[in-house]
Amino acid sequence: MTERLPDGYESDESEIPSAVTLYVTGFAFLTTVCCGAAGTALYIYSQYPEKVQAIINSLNDLIH
């Protein structure tokens, strides 16, 4: 649906994404990133469990 603007330009409202579209796209993107990070972490842990455990222990020592 196009509407005429006072200055003569046409505006196509279908090109403007709605808030719902932005929320769904953002949620899908964040879900993909988080699942990818979790999958990568699990893969690294399955390949190098001793090294990952050593890193976790050293981080735990820094926190406490």
For the chain, the structural domain boundaries read: 2-63
Per-residue pLDDT at 30: 95
Of residues 59 and 9, more confidently modeled: 59
**Which of 4-8, 24-28, 31-35, 38-42 shows the lowest mean pLDDT across its residues?**
4-8
Distance CA 33, CA 29 (A): 6
CA 38 to chain centroid: 12
Q: What is the value of pTM for the model shown? A: 0.53
Distances (CA, A) of 50 to 46, 58, 60, 62: 10, 12, 15, 19
- CA count, 13 A, side-chain hemisphere, 48: 8
Query: Mean pLDDT across the chain, nearest whole number?
Result: 84
The runs of H, that is alpha helices, within 1-64 are 19-47, 49-63
For 12-36, what is the mean pLDDT? Answer: 85
Per-residue pLDDT at 64: 82
